[in-house]
């Protein structure tokens, strides 16, 4: 009789007390976390986050500085037209497709939502160029909802530290929803992104600067410049 294959158990996330300590430390390190994308209202946030796919926040901010000065509503963006949008965002990757999406989502916002950005994930993901991650960022930053958008930084930090392991962004998001203490959920998205962007770097994490080094499961720790 053939042996039954043992089912691999899912990676264990942090216990509650350890997760609470991790976020307490990150909150003390960055007490007022926010997105580094520049925006003036919920609509421009949707556009900025949609443009940020496969692009840096710095690059998006440079491209949208003048764009948002002349088009900060769906109506103004439609008046600018696809070519007008494209002229402003040519420094961003995939700019042609993104220009089409900006015009298409602006048109849908006017026709289906009265020109207002919807406040539910189900409605937001209907917009062209808006996926679950973008929707979660908008809900968190514009409307104060405790959502977590798993980007490359959050995916890396969650797996590397052992906070919320997962094989894909959806799994990591599901784990984070379970492990992040309620009092830290609103800021968790930003704390993890900023930690990944400035400390827990992809190639060489700055472990010697890490405020949560004693909680992190990553080994071996990267030595400091003088070690």
Q: How far apart are CA 133 and CA 92, in angstroms?
A: 19
Q: How far apart are CA 46 and CA 200, in angstroms?
A: 27
Q: Find the catalytic residue in 133, 185, 221, 227.
A: 133
Catalytic residue flag (residue 133) = yes
Burial of 62 from C-beta contacts in 10 A (0-12 / 13-18 / 19+) = middle
Two tokens, residue 136: 């979660």
Q: How far apart are CA 212 and CA 128, in angstroms?
A: 38
The answer to whether 113 touches 142, Cβ cutoff 8 Å, is no
Q: Find the catalytic residue in 18, 72, 151, 227.
A: 151
Percentage helix, strand, coil, to 5, in the chain?
A: 55, 0, 45
Two tokens, residue 83: 């070519």
Residues marked as catalytic: 133, 151
């Amino acid at each position: 009789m053939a042996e039954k294959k043992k089912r691999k158990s899912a990676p264990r996330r942090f216990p509650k007390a350890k997760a609470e300590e991790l976020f307490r430390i990150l909150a003390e390190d960055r007490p007022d976390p926010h997105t580094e994308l520049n925006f003036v209202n919920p609509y421009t946030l949707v556009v900025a986050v949609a443009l940020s796919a496969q692009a840096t926040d710095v690059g998006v901010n440079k491209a949208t500085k003048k764009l948002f000065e002349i088009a900060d509503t769906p109506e103004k963006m439609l008046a600018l037209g696809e070519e007008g949008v494209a002229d402003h965002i040519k420094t961003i990757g995939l700019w042609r497709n993104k220009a089409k999406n900006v015009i298409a989502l602006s048109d849908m916002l006017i026709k289906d939502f009265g020109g207002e950005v919807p406040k539910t994930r189900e409605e937001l993901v209907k917009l062209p160029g808006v996926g679950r991650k973008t929707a979660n960022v908008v809900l968190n930053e514009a409307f104060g909802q405790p959502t977590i958008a798993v980007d490359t930084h959050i995916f890396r930090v969650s797996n590397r530290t052992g906070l919320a392991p997962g094989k894909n962004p959806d799994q990591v998001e599901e784990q984070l929803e379970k492990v992040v203490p309620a009092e830290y959920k609103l800021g968790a998205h930003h704390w993890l992104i900023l930690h990944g962007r400035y400390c827990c770097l992809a190639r060489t994490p700055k472990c010697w600067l890490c405020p949560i080094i004693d909680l992190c499961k990553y080994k071996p720790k990267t030595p400091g410049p003088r070690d």
